[in-house]
Copies of this chain bind each other. A is one copy, B any other.
Amino acid sequence: MRTMRRPGSYVCGIDAAMDVIGGKWKVLILWALHERPHRFGALRRELPGVTEKVLTAQLRELELDGIVNREVHDEVPPRVEYSLTPLGVSLNEALASLGAWGRENILGHVPHH
C-alpha cells in the first residue's frame, strides 16, 4: 500500500493499523514469518505471484514500521533472514480475531489451516 505514514492524520487506531498492514502481501508476509524466520527466497516461494521488487518493497515498509527484522549474514552466497519483531508478534496476535471473522464469514467455514 502507500509508502508513507501520515502522522497525526489518523482518526483512530484502526486506520493507523490499516496503514501498516494495507499492502497487498503484508498480512501474508506476517503470517509466513509468524511460523518461522524466512530467507528472502523462501519467503518468495511462499507467496505465489509476488515479484522480487514488490516483495522487497513490502518488506522495507514493514521494516520501517518496526514489524519485521532484517538480518544480513555476511557470507557468500549472501543470506538475509527476515523475522518478526516483538511488535510484529503483537500485531499478529491483534489480527487473530479478524482472521477468525474472515474464516467464518467470508471463506465459509473452511476447517482452518
Q: A: which residues have CB within 8 A of B?
A: 10-22, 27-28, 31, 87, 90-91, 93-107, 113
What is the interface of chain A mostly: helix, strand, loop, or mixed?
Answer: helix
* C-alpha spacing A11/B20, complex, angstroms: 20
Q: A94-B97, A96-B97, A97-B94 are in contact. Are A15 and B105 (CB under 8 A)?
A: no
Q: A87-B105, A106-B20 are in contact. Are A99 and B27 (CB under 8 A)?
A: no
Q: In angstroms, how far is the closest chain B Cβ from the Cβ of A31?
A: 6
Q: Can you list 26 A-B pairs, Cβ within 8 angstroms, ordered by A?
A: A10-B106, A11-B31, A12-B28, A12-B31, A13-B99, A13-B102, A13-B103, A14-B102, A16-B102, A16-B106, A16-B107, A17-B98, A17-B99, A17-B101, A17-B106, A20-B106, A22-B22, A87-B105, A90-B101, A91-B105, A94-B97, A94-B98, A94-B101, A95-B97, A95-B98, A97-B97
